[in-house]
Amino acid sequence: MASLAVGSLRPHDDRPPPWRAVAPGREYPFAGHVDPQTECLGGVHGSEDIVVSISRDIERYADLFASRTKVMKSSAMRDLMAITARPEVISLAGGLPDTSTFPPDTFAAAAQRVAAESCARALQYGPTEGLAETKACIAGVMEAEDMRADQEDVVVTTGGQQVIDLVAKTLIDPGDVVIAEGPTYPGAVPVFSSYQAHVVQIEMDADGMKVDLLEEELQRLDRESRRPKFIYTVPSFQNPAGVTMSAPRRRRLVEVAHERELLVLEDNPYGLLRYEGERLPPLFALDGGVYVMYLGTFSKILSPGIRLGWVVAPPPVLEKINLGKQAADLCTSTLSQLMVQAYFEQGRWRDYVESLTEIYRARRDTMLDALADHFPPQAEWTRPGGGLFIWATLPDFIDTTDLLARALRDNVAFVPGAAAYLDGRGRSSMRLNFSGCDEEAIREGIRRIGEVVTEQVALYGTLTGEEGRQSQVASRRGEGAGADVLPMPSPAERRQRATP
């Protein structure tokens, strides 16, 4: 019987038979022709007349997709995450700041001012690198963390996410090495994937990225004559782990960058959202902008809806970033930029950040208490001094993607840890957000997740005959500092370990 691979042929395809099917290693010879009228294949094979139509479905586009689209993450998780948006779901999954306390009067006054004073400008294109007025606001935000940057070294972007994309676009050829933390910001994963970067993830503990392991990894790469294009890090209140890189490690990381002439992309959305402890110097301040590129954003200190971020980078790099930005979207919204300027001129932006800090600190405490009350003893979690996230790690027999499916039946959601790795690790961890829900929802959400986890731990105990090890959940409130960011084995390692 004759066959064709759906979509592997086109009408008027003039390649001679036998045509090669999309299935590797198999040939699908076909003695037929394409009828230009019906766009069907007609032919005679043996004694049997066969007419097979050519599929008009998307498989016909499959040949057209760029190879970078083939490394996209699994659709199962995407489908699960789509359900988390339903209104009845308590979502501890998103990274949403709470925008509900932003004063509408303040918003109205800023909008009024833009309309009265710069209507035509606000409605017009602007320069690719951004407006000088916005850059002045950026200078103010950076100064709040003791950083200084020349206006010429800043490009205003459409959110911080665009910075990651533009930096990757500027520096990464397929196969190039990027160093990131393990776990890393889940939103950076599709960016690195789409530029076909080879991402090496460095473990963390309560003091952030283990810089000694980074150095070992760099030496290993040296031996393979591979030089990483850049090191991507969120040093303060890391997304997703919630941990903060210690001062000595910050200094050492900057030294390593100088010694090896390596670029670092410091992503700092949460630096001003500190709930306790001493402020630590950003890498950018330690380095003076020689090897450290800085990513800032208004998303967490003002609003993610205005889509404003920025990048500071050494001039030759910035020039390429600027060209990339021009290709991507010409310029950042002028309307948003002028709104930010009008808002900053009201002079109360730090008060607003302070009020957010109060709200988030209480929510973090609520979540930590709820975790202590409801998660079983086998679970561990980090204790963030700021930011928006807690990273919890469960026993390795629990796969948090499956757990999410179970949790969604109870209308609660989180981000499965696998989303923060490119190598299959993180399967027993989860990212929990405490900024987007009120305290009651946080308590209830954690209670529901805790119940499901406790159930699964007990079930596993029953299945392995180790019930004796399971103990009742007793509150662990106030127990010492947070756990390390536990690296979880990859599925392959687990299989290996399970083999006697």
Partner 1 sequence: MSRVAVLKGGRSLERQVSLRSGARVQDALERLGHQVVAIDAGPDLIQRLRDASPEVAFVAMHGRDGEDGTIQELLEILGIPYTGSGVLACVRAMDKVLAKHLMLEAGIPTPEFFAFNETAFRELGAADALQAIEDRLDFPIVVKPAGQGSALGIKFAGTAGDVPGALVAAFSYDDKVLLERHVPGRDLAVSILDGEPLPVVEAVPQSEDFYDFESRYEIGRTSFVCPADLPGDASERAHELARRTYRLLGCYGFARVDLMLDEAEALFVLEANPIPGLTETSLLPQAAEAARIGFDELVGRILELAFERAPGAPA
Q: List interacting residues with partner 1 (CB under 8 A).
A: 1, 3-6, 21-24, 26, 28, 40, 51-53, 55-59, 62, 65, 69-70, 72, 74-76, 78-80, 82-83, 86, 397-399, 402-403, 405-406, 408, 456, 459-460, 462-465, 491, 495, 497-500
Closest CA to 482 of 371, 398, 397: 371
For strands 230-233 and 177-182, give the pairing: parallel
CB of 26 vs partner 1, minimal distance in Å:
7
In the bound state with partner 1, the residue whose beta carbon lies nearer, of 106 and 490, is 490
Report the distance separating Cα 239 and Cα 27, nearest Å. 48
In the bound state with partner 1, the residue whose beta carbon lies nearer, of 3 and 99, is 3
DSSP sequence for 81-138: HHHTTSTTSEE--S-----TTS-HHHHHHHHHHHHHHHHHHHTS---TT--HHHHHHH
Report the distance separating Cα 270 and Cα 267, nearest Å. 9
* Residue 70 CA from chain centroid, whole number: 19
Mark 139-165 as b/e (b = at least 16 C-beta within 10 Å): bebbeebebebeeebbbbbbbbbbbbb
Report the distance separating Cα 116 and Cα 134, nearest Å. 18
CB of 279 vs partner 1, minimal distance in Å:
42
CB of 208 vs partner 1, minimal distance in Å:
31
In the bound state with partner 1, the residue whose beta carbon lies nearer, of 167 and 407, is 407
CB of 486 vs partner 1, minimal distance in Å:
17
In the bound state with partner 1, the residue whose beta carbon lies nearer, of 104 and 500, is 500
CB of 59 vs partner 1, minimal distance in Å:
6
CB of 459 vs partner 1, minimal distance in Å:
6
In the bound state with partner 1, the residue whose beta carbon lies nearer, of 257 and 403, is 403
Helix, strand or coil, per DSSP, at residue 289: coil
Report the distance separating Cα 207 and Cα 202, nearest Å. 13
In the bound state with partner 1, the residue whose beta carbon lies nearer, of 472 and 499, is 499
CB of 198 vs partner 1, minimal distance in Å:
18
DSSP sequence for 133-202: HHHHHHHHHHHTTT----GGGEEEESHHHHHHHHHHHHHPPTT-EEEEEES--TTHHHHHHHTT-EEEEE
In the bound state with partner 1, the residue whose beta carbon lies nearer, of 74 and 346, is 74
> How many residues are recorded in the chain?
500
In the bound state with partner 1, the residue whose beta carbon lies nearer, of 30 and 270, is 30
In the bound state with partner 1, the residue whose beta carbon lies nearer, of 326 and 471, is 471
CB of 2 vs partner 1, minimal distance in Å:
8
CB of 192 vs partner 1, minimal distance in Å:
18
In the bound state with partner 1, the residue whose beta carbon lies nearer, of 59 and 255, is 59
Question: H or E element: which one contains 452?
Answer: helix 439-464
CB of 401 vs partner 1, minimal distance in Å:
8
Token reading at 294? 């800085």
Residue 178, strand partner residues: 199, 230
For strands 32-35 and 208-209, give the pairing: unpaired
What is the distance between the terminal CA atoms of the chain, rounded to a whole angstrom? 47
